[in-house]
C-alpha cells in the first residue's frame, strides 16, 4: 500500500469510526464500489484463471511485469545494479523494458512504478482483448508507447498496461485517401506507422530509404502515437506543421473494445481529439497514417556559444539576438533553439531546411561579425554553419561518422541503425526537478515590443537557463503548416506563437530506496523554485496560460486552458462520447478532473 492510499484509508477510518484489518478496509472505504478501480489486494482482482484467459486471448502476449529497480533496491551494491544504472542511460534499453519509463520520475509529482501486467500487443485484436478485460474487471488501464511522457502518462502502478512496442510496421503510400473520404479528399502521399514505432524507425523508412519527409519529433526514440496525440513538434515544424497537423487517419480501439477508424470523414470528433487532445485519453491508437512531403534538398545547422563579459554586454547581446531572429530567422526555414543561461551565455543550436549552406552562412554573417567586432565584450566559440543532404539526416551510418553528434545503442545485439542525438542524452533516465514552458506571442517580435521580451529573457536567465524553441511555435511558418496546425485540438496559441520558451532541471538516473542512487529531494525542490522564478517573467508576456501537454509543468494550474484553450468543451464531449466510463485516465488529460490524482477513484 502506498503512502497516499494509506492516508485515504486512514481518513475514511476516522470519518467512519471503523476498525478492521487494512486489507478489507480498502473495500470498505470506497465512495461507491462501482466508482473505484480494482487493485491487486482487492477482492475483485482477477483470478489466475482469468489472467490465463487474457493470456490465451492475446496469443500468450500477457506479461507479468518485472521491475528492474526492485532488484536494485534489494541489491544496491551488486554488479547487476551497476549495469542497470549504466543501461538507464540507453533510451533503447529503457524502451525495450516493459517495466521502465524514459523519465523515472519528477520531484514531488510521480515516481515510475510498474504495472501489474502488460499485454505486449501485436494486433488491434490483442489491444481490444486487453481493453475489454480492463473494463470488465474495473482495472486501471495504461498505454505505453515510447515511454517518454514527462507527466508520467504511461506509468500507473497496479494497472494493466497495453504496451504497443511491437506494433511497429511501416508502410508507404503513393496516393492515400482516408476511409470514407473518396471524392471528398484528394489522394496524397502518406505513411502508415504502427503505434508502437519510434520516430527513428519512421525516419529510416520514409527519409533514408524512400527519400521523403514525415513530420515527427526531434528525439529519435520518442513514440509516434504519443507525440502526435500530444501535438508534437520536430525541428522543421515551421515548414511542415505539428505532428498532429499531419495526421490523416488513425486506427483506434475505444473503451467499448471496438476497433474504429478515425479521420476527417469517419468518426471526425474522435479524429479531432487524437490530433493533439492528449495521449492515453480517448482510446488505444494502433496505427497512424501521416502525410508525407517532398524532402528538401538540404538540412543544416548553425551553432555557436557566446559569452558576454559584463551585464551590459549580455543585455546588448540578448537585444541583438531578438532583433536578428525577428529580421532574419522568423520564417519557415529556421527551427530549434537559442538558449540563455547564467546571465552571461547565449547558446545557438539552430537548424535549417530549404536553403543551402551558403545562404545560411550569409544569413548569420552579420550577426557573427557583430559579435567578433567586440572582443572586449564577447568571447565566441564554435560558430559553425553546415549543411548536408537531407536524406542523410537520420542515416545512422553517416551520423555515426560525425564526431560527437549522436550516440548509438551500446547493447551487443543492437541494430546498427539505432542512434539518438547526444543533446538528448541528459534526459535519458532523468528524474525531473521541474519543467515549465510557455508559448510567446509573435507580437513580441514587433520592434516596439522587443524590449519587453529582452527584459524578460535577461531576468529569466539570471535565475536559471531558458531556451526559446522556435520550431515549437508556428508563427512565421509556411501558411499551409500554420493552417493545418490551427485545425487540431491544440491551443490555437500554438499558431500565433513565434516560440515555446522552455526551462527545466533534472538529475541523472535515481530511484527511491536504491542506496547510492537516491533522488536528491532537497535539490529537486530548490531547483523547482528557481525554475518557476525563471519562467515567471516570460509567463507575464502571455495573454493567458498557453503551452502543450507533452512538454509542460506537471503542476500546471490552468491546464485545460493552457493545453487546449477554446477546444476543451469539444474535447470533453468527445471523451464523453467515446469513453463515458473514464477507462482511459492520465494526469491532466481531458476528463481527468473527474478522477482522483492517481486515477483510481471517481470523484463526487
Ligand X SMILES: Cc1cc2nc3c(=O)[nH]c(=O)nc-3n(C[C@H](O)[C@H](O)[C@H](O)COP(=O)(O)OP(=O)(O)OC[C@H]3O[C@@H](n4cnc5c(N)ncnc54)[C@H](O)[C@@H]3O)c2cc1C
Minimal distance in Å, beta carbon 87 to ligand X? 16
Site size for ligand X (CB under 6 A): 35
Minimal distance in Å, beta carbon 13 to ligand X? 33
Minimal distance in Å, beta carbon 589 to ligand X? 7
Which of 157, 249, 170 minimizes the C-alpha distance to 208?
Answer: 170
- Count helices and strands (H / E) in the chain: 20, 21
Which of 441, 434, 419, 493 minimizes the C-alpha distance to 465?
Answer: 434
Residue 217 found at the interface with ligand X (CB under 6 A): yes
- Binder among 99, 232, 476, 537 for ligand X (CB under 6 A): 232
Q: Which is nearer to ligand X, 284 or 440 (CB)?
A: 284
Minimal distance in Å, beta carbon 470 to ligand X? 13
CA angle 209, 214, 215 (to 5 degrees): 145
- Binder among 157, 194, 230, 477 for ligand X (CB under 6 A): 230
Task: Give the whole-angstrom CA distance, residue 142 versus residue 601.
Answer: 15
Residue 212 sits at φ, ψ, to 5 deg, of -125, 180
For the packed helices 48-57 and 124-137, what is the interaxial angle rounded to 10 degrees? 160
CA atoms within 13 A on the CB side of 517: 26
Residue 146 found at the interface with ligand X (CB under 6 A): yes
Residue 41 sits at φ, ψ, to 5 deg, of -80, -10
Task: Give the whole-angstrom CA distance, residue 239 versus residue 474.
Answer: 9
Whether 259 and 128 have beta carbons less than 8 Å apart is answered as yes
Q: Which residues pair with 335 in a beta bridge?
A: 351
Beta strands 62-64 and 117-120 are antiparallel
Stretch that binds ligand X, among 222-230, 362-370, 493-501, 554-562 (CB under 6 A): 222-230
Whether 489 and 369 have beta carbons less than 8 Å apart is answered as no
Minimal distance in Å, beta carbon 371 to ligand X? 28
Question: Which parts of 569-588 interact with ligand X (CB under 6 A)?
Answer: 586
Residue 519 found at the interface with ligand X (CB under 6 A): no
Task: Give the whole-angstrom CA distance, residue 577 versus residue 269.
Answer: 9
What residue ranges in 257-377 does DSSP mark as E strands?
259-263, 284-294, 298-308, 334-341, 345-353
Q: Which is nearer to ligand X, 152 or 383 (CB)?
A: 152
Residue 154 found at the interface with ligand X (CB under 6 A): yes
Residue 478 sits at φ, ψ, to 5 deg, of -65, 135
Stretch that binds ligand X, among 46-54, 144-152, 520-528, 562-570 (CB under 6 A): 144-152
Stretch that binds ligand X, among 58-66, 223-231, 438-446, 560-568 (CB under 6 A): 223-231
- Binder among 219, 338, 431, 468 for ligand X (CB under 6 A): 219
Q: Which is nearer to ligand X, 222 or 495 (CB)?
A: 222
Residue 145 found at the interface with ligand X (CB under 6 A): yes
Sketch the per residue contact string, 276 through 315, with ligand X: x for CB under 6 A, - otherwise. ---xx---xx------------------------------
Minimal distance in Å, beta carbon 27 to ligand X? 28
Minimal distance in Å, beta carbon 425 to ligand X? 9
106 three-class SS:
strand
Distance of CA 212 to the CA centre of its chain: 24
Sketch the per residue contact string, 92 through 131, with ligand X: x for CB under 6 A, - otherwise. ----------xx----------------------------
Torsion of CA 30, 36, 39, 45, to 10 degrees: 100
Residue 236 found at the interface with ligand X (CB under 6 A): no
- Binder among 226, 335, 545, 582 for ligand X (CB under 6 A): 226
Q: Which is nearer to ligand X, 159 or 361 (CB)?
A: 159
CA distances from 130 to 9, 41, 57, 104 (A): 29, 20, 9, 25
- Binder among 140, 144, 165, 275 for ligand X (CB under 6 A): 144
Minimal distance in Å, beta carbon 161 to ligand X? 9
Minimal distance in Å, beta carbon 52 to ligand X? 26
Q: Which is nearer to ligand X, 232 or 476 (CB)?
A: 232
Whether 235 and 469 have beta carbons less than 8 Å apart is answered as no
Burial of 372 (0-12, 13-18, 19+ CB in 10 A): exposed
Q: Which is nearer to ligand X, 307 or 496 (CB)?
A: 496
Task: Give the whole-angstrom CA distance, residue 402 versus residue 384.
Answer: 14
Q: Which is nearer to ligand X, 231 or 537 (CB)?
A: 231
Residue 427 found at the interface with ligand X (CB under 6 A): yes
CA atoms within 13 A on the CB side of 529: 5
Structure letter (DSSP) for residue 295 = P
- Binder among 126, 336, 551, 556 for ligand X (CB under 6 A): 551
Residue 361 found at the interface with ligand X (CB under 6 A): no
Residue 165 found at the interface with ligand X (CB under 6 A): no
Minimal distance in Å, beta carbon 447 to ligand X? 31
Q: Which is nearer to ligand X, 146 or 300 (CB)?
A: 146
Q: Which is nearer to ligand X, 132 or 427 (CB)?
A: 427
Task: Give the whole-angstrom CA distance, residue 284 versus residue 314.
Answer: 49
Q: Which is nearer to ligand X, 95 or 354 (CB)?
A: 95
Using CB under 6 A as the criterion, which residues of the chain lie in contact with ligand X when the complex forms?
Answer: 102-103, 143-150, 153-154, 164, 195, 217-219, 222-223, 225-227, 229-230, 232-233, 279-280, 284-285, 424, 427, 550-551, 586
Amino acid at each position: 500500500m502506498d503512502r497516499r492510499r494509506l492516508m485515504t484509508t486512514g481518513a475514511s477510518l476516522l470519518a467512519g469510526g471503523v476498525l478492521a484489518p487494512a486489507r478489507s478496509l480498502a473495500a470498505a472505504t470506497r465512495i461507491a464500489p462501482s466508482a473505484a478501480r480494482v487493485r491487486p489486494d482487492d477482492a475483485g482482482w482477477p483470478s489466475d484463471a482469468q489472467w490465463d484467459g487474457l493470456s490465451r486471448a492475446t496469443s500468450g502476449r500477457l506479461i507479468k511485469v518485472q521491475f528492474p529497480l526492485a532488484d536494485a533496491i534489494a541489491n544496491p551494491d551488486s554488479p547487476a545494479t551497476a549495469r542497470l544504472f549504466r543501461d538507464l542511460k540507453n533510451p533503447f534499453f529503457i524502451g525495450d523494458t516493459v517495466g521502465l519509463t524514459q523519465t523515472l520520475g519528477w520531484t514531488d509529482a510521480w515516481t515510475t512504478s510498474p504495472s501489474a501486467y502488460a499485454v505486449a500487443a501485436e494486433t488491434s485484436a490483442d489491444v481490444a482483448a486487453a481493453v475489454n478485460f480492463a473494463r470488465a474487471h474495473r482495472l486501471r488501464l495504461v498505454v505505453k508507447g515510447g515511454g517518454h511522457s514527462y507527466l508520467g502518462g504511461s506509468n500507473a502502478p497496479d494497472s494493466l498496461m497495453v504496451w504497443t512496442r511491437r506494433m511497429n510496421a511501416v508502410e508507404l503510400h503513393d496516393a492515400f485517401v482516408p476511409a470514407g473520404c473518396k471524392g471528398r479528399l484528394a489522394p496524397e502521399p502518406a505513411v502508415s506507422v504502427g503505434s508502437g514505432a519510434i520516430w527513428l524507425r519512421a525516419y529510416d523508412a520514409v527519409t533514408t530509404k524512400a527519400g521523403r519527409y514525415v513530420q515527427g519529433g526531434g528525439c529519435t526514440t520518442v513514440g509516434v502515437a504519443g507525440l502526435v496525440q500530444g501535438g508534437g513538434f520536430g525541428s522543421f515544424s515551421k515548414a511542415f506543421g505539428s505532428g498532429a497537423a499531419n495526421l490523416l487517419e488513425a486506427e483506434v480501439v475505444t473503451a467499448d473494445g471496438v476497433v474504429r477508424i478515425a479521420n476527417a470523414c469517419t468518426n471526425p470528433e474522435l479524429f479531432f481529439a487524437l490530433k493533439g487532445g492528449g495521449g492515453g485519453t480517448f482510446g488505444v491508437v494502433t496505427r497512424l497514417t501521416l502525410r508525407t512531403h517532398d524532402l528538401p534538398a538540404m538540412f543544416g545547422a548553425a551553432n555557436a556559444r557566446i559569452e558576454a563579459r559584463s551585464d551590459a554586454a549580455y543585455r546588448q547581446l540578448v537585444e541583438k539576438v531578438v532583433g536578428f531572429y525577428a529580421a532574419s530567422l522568423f520564417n519557415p526555414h529556421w527551427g530549434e533553439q537559442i538558449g540563455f543561461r547564467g546571465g552571461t551565455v547565449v547558446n545557438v543550436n539552430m537548424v535549417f531546411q530549404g536553403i543551402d549552406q551558403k545562404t545560411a552562412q550569409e544569413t548569420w554573417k552579420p550577426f557573427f561579425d557583430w559579435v567578433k567586432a567586440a572582443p572586449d565584450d564577447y568571447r565566441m566559440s564554435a560558430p559553425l554553419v553546415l549543411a548536408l543532404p537531407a536524406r542523410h539526416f537520420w542515416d545512422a551510418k553517416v551520423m555515426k561518422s560525425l564526431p560527437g553528434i549522436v550516440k548509438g545503442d551500446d547493447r551487443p545485439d543492437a541494430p546498427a541503425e539505432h542512434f539518438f542525438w547526444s543533446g538528448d542524452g541528459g534526459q535519458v533516465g532523468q528524474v525531473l526537478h521541474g519543467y515549465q514552458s510557455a508559448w510567446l506571442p509573435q507580437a513580441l517580435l514587433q520592434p516596439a515590443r522587443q524590449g519587453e521580451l529582452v527584459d524578460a529573457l535577461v531576468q529569466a536567465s539570471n535565475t536559471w537557463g531558458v531556451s526559446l524553441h522556435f520550431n515549437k511555435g508556428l508563427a512565421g511558418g509556411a501558411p499551409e503548416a500554420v493552417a493545418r496546425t490551427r485545425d487540431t485540438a491544440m491551443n490555437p496559441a500554438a499558431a500565433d506563437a513565434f516560440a515555446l520558451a522552455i526551462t527545466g532541471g533534472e538529475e541523472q538516473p535515481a530511484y527511491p530506496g536504491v542506496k547510492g542512487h537516491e533522488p536528491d529531494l532537497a535539490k529537486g525542490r530548490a531547483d523547482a523554485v528557481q525554475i518557476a522564478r525563471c519562467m515567471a517573467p516570460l509567463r507575464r508576456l502571455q495573454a493567458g496560460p498557453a503551452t502543450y501537454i507533452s512538454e509542460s509543468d506537471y503542476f500546471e494550474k490552468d491546464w485545460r486552458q493552457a493545453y487546449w484553450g477554446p477546444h476543451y468543451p469539444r474535447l470533453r464531449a468527445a471523451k464523453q462520447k467515446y469513453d463515458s466510463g473514464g477507462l482511459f485516465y492520465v494526469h491532466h488529460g481531458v476528463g481527468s478532473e473527474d478522477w482522483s490524482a492517481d486515477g483510481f477513484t471517481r470523484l463526487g
